[in-house]
């Protein structure tokens, strides 16, 4: 252990790192968003494009972030700063993104906690599911109380540090999550009438693909792999100098993708089997699924299992977001971890309050650029800042830090053969930045105008 790592903490084992990083990646993005995005974007066609994005963009950016973190043994801001003073702002974008995402992520985590409670005391009737959900999220105090509980859980894990907190929690929650998901996926695909859903999920219908589908797939790849904001830089900074980064950058996206696909099998066949619509959007998990559970034998039991699994997924992701901010403060101001974690969690709790209230009468008319506070935070983080962070990172690695330096880090100065180097170099210097830039232009609403100039109609 060198001087830098000794007082910052380190993973106890590489498998611990893999589970923690996979825990960051596997989250609401996989279990809540992926099935509804597939449901709303033509099923199999979306899945295929998503897989391509994971391979060509996900792998490369994940490897890049891991290498930056491990090379510097610093969290995002410090890492960029150490490699090139002027680029520290990219790390800072990450800290801002962490704040924005965690504020609304924790509110959703609170909804999940409430659903677990609700299922434990009897469940939600199918006929009532829609009203129940809209009534609950619009109420003033209840969702805030659950958001507080979720934030406290994150805080307790993160203040225990890297090996003793995050790694330990991930080592328990990740395997448990996987087992629960397999049980539910098996239940779902063996229901009468599940075949329709399986077909929908697997059979690509490319006539449904638009540029919007590609955008959605790339955005989802970023979000699902926790890329573009320094989460993997931060986790990578606690890695020892001898681990094989290239291998890790294959395993983690593979786990993330496997869980997303399994979640698709857990959700979509059941939705079809009971005659519901797959394209319900965000409410798929909170309204459609409770109706599905209500129609199913032992639905309450499966409801409990399902929402516990979602809670584990959400928690392991939320702690990575919190850790980005906490590590930044620890590295920069040298404040002790416990104190830092409690202060940051408290601030985050308060930022989450307007996110929660934005769904109800108190703040639903407070709009920022036409978005309510909840949607604004998500738009700002996911659509604007994360792709920007990813884009700047590609440019930084490709043209500032340089591909030779990063290759040395990835190969541990020649200890491992960096097999995918030619692919990595082409991707990080040319393909990924161009693709991300296009997506970004689309996200900020400029792309349609550019298309118009070239006479392309969508
Ligand atoms: N990847 C998580 C999910 O799929 C969300 C998440 C956690 C995240 N940490 C992140 C997204 C960092 C972007 C950046 O739900």
pLDDT at 457: 66
326-343 as b/e: b if 16+ CB within 10 A? bbbbbbeeeeebeebbbe
Find the mean pLDDT for residues 338-354: 97
pLDDT-derived band at 384 (thresholds 50, 70, 90) equals confident
Atom of ligand 1 nearest to the CA of 225: 1
CA of 448 to the centre of ligand 1 (A): 28
Structure-block tokens of residue 198:
């399986």
Which residue minimizes the CA distance to atom 10 of ligand 1? 226
Q: Is the CB of 99 under 6 A from ligand 1?
A: no
CB 378 within 8 A of CB 39: no
Q: Is the CB of 76 under 6 A from ligand 1?
A: no
CB 232 within 8 A of CB 65: yes
Total domain count for the chain?
1
pLDDT at 451: 79
pLDDT-derived band at 458 (thresholds 50, 70, 90) equals low
Residue 317 lies inside a defined structural domain of this protein: yes
Q: What pLDDT, in 10s, does the model give residues 292-310?
A: 999 888 999 999 999 999 9
Residue 426 lies inside a defined structural domain of this protein: yes
Q: Is the CB of 226 under 6 A from ligand 1?
A: yes
Q: Is the CB of 278 under 6 A from ligand 1?
A: no
pLDDT at 2: 42
Residue 21 lies inside a defined structural domain of this protein: yes
What is the rounded average pLDDT for all residues in the chain?
Answer: 92
pLDDT at 27: 96
For residue 390, pLDDT over 50 is answered with yes
Question: Which comes out higher in pLDDT, residue 404 or 208?
Answer: 404
Pocket test for ligand 1, best of 231, 378, 382 (most atoms within 8 A of CB): 231
CATH number at residue 238: 1.20.1740.10
CA of 223 to the centre of ligand 1 (A): 5
Nearest to 442 by CA among 281, 211, 282, 226: 211
Residue 291 lies inside a defined structural domain of this protein: yes
Residue 456 lies inside a defined structural domain of this protein: no
Question: Which comes out higher in pLDDT, residue 197 or 7?
Answer: 197
Find the mean pLDDT for residues 410-422: 95
pLDDT at 318: 97
Residue 397 lies inside a defined structural domain of this protein: yes
Residue 452 lies inside a defined structural domain of this protein: no
Share of the chain above pLDDT 90, in %: 78
| Cβ atoms < 10 Å from Cβ of 210 | 12
CA of 38 to the centre of ligand 1 (A): 18
pLDDT-derived band at 452 (thresholds 50, 70, 90) equals confident
Q: Is the CB of 101 under 6 A from ligand 1?
A: yes
CA of 49 to the centre of ligand 1 (A): 20
pLDDT-derived band at 312 (thresholds 50, 70, 90) equals very high
pLDDT-derived band at 1 (thresholds 50, 70, 90) equals very low
Nearest to 409 by CA among 278, 236, 290, 279: 236
pLDDT at 158: 97
| Cβ atoms < 10 Å from Cβ of 240 | 15
Q: What pLDDT, in 10s, does the model give residues 180-221?
A: 999 999 999 999 999 999 999 999 888 888 888 888 898 899
Q: Is the CB of 229 under 6 A from ligand 1?
A: yes
CA of 260 to the centre of ligand 1 (A): 13
For residue 419, pLDDT over 60 is answered with yes
Which residue minimizes the CA distance to atom 7 of ligand 1? 317
Residue 39 lies inside a defined structural domain of this protein: yes
* Owning domain of residue 423: 3-446
């Amino acid at each position: 252990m060198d001087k830098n790592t000794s007082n910052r903490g380190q993973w106890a084992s590489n498998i611990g790192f893999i589970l923690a990083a996979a825990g960051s990646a596997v989250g609401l993005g996989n279990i809540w968003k992926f099935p509804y995005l597939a449901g709303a974007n033509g099923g199999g066609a979306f899945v295929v494009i998503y897989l391509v994005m994971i391979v060509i963009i996900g792998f490369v950016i994940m490897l890049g972030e891991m290498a930056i973190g491990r090379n510097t043994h610093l969290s995002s801001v410090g890492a960029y700063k150490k490699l090139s003073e002027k680029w520290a702002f990219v790390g800072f974008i990450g800290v801002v993104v962490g704040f924005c995402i965690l504020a609304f992520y924790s509110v959703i985590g609170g909804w999940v906690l409430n659903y677990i409670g609700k299922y434990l005391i009897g469940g939600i009737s199918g006929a009532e599911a829609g009203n129940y959900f809209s009534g609950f999220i619009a109420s003033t105090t209840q969702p805030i109380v659950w958001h507080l509980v979720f934030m406290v859980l994150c805080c307790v894990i993160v203040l225990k540090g890297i090996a003793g907190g995050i790694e330990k929690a991930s080592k328990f929650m990740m395997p448990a999550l996987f087992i629960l998901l397999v049980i539910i996926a098996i239940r779902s695909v063996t229901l009468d009438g599940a075949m329709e859903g399986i077909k929908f999920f697997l059979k690509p219908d490319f006539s449904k693909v638009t540029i919007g589908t590609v955008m959605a797939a790339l955005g989802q790849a970023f979000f699902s792999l926790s890329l573009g904001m320094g989460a993997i830089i931060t986790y990578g900074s606690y890695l020892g100098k001898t681990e094989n980064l290239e291998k890790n950058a294959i395993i983690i996206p593979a786990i993330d993708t496997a869980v997303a696909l399994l979640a698709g099998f857990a959700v979509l066949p059941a939705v079809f089997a009971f005659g519901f619509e797959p394209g319900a959007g965000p409410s798929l998990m909170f309204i459609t699924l409770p109706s599905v559970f209500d129609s199913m034998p032992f639905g309450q039991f499966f409801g409990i299992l399902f929402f516990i699994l979602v809670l584990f997924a959400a928690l392991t992701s939320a702690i990575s977001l919190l850790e980005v901010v906490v590590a930044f403060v620890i590295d920069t101001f040298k404040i002790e971890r416990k104190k830092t974690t409690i202060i940051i969690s408290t601030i985050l709790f308060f930022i989450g309050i307007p996110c929660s209230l934005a769904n109800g009468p108190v703040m639903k008319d407070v709009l920022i650029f036409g978005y309510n506070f909840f949607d604004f935070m998500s738009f700002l983080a996911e659509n604007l800042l994360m792709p920007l962070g990813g884009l700047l990172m590609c440019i930084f690695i490709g043209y500032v830090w340089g591909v030779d330096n990063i290759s040395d880090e990835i190969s541990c100065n020649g200890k491992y053969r960096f097999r995918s180097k030619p692919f990595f170099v082409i991707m990080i210097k040319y393909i990924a930045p161009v693709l991300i830039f296009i997506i970004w232009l689309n996200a900020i609403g400029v792309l349609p105008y550019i298309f118009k100039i070239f006479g392309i109609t969508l």
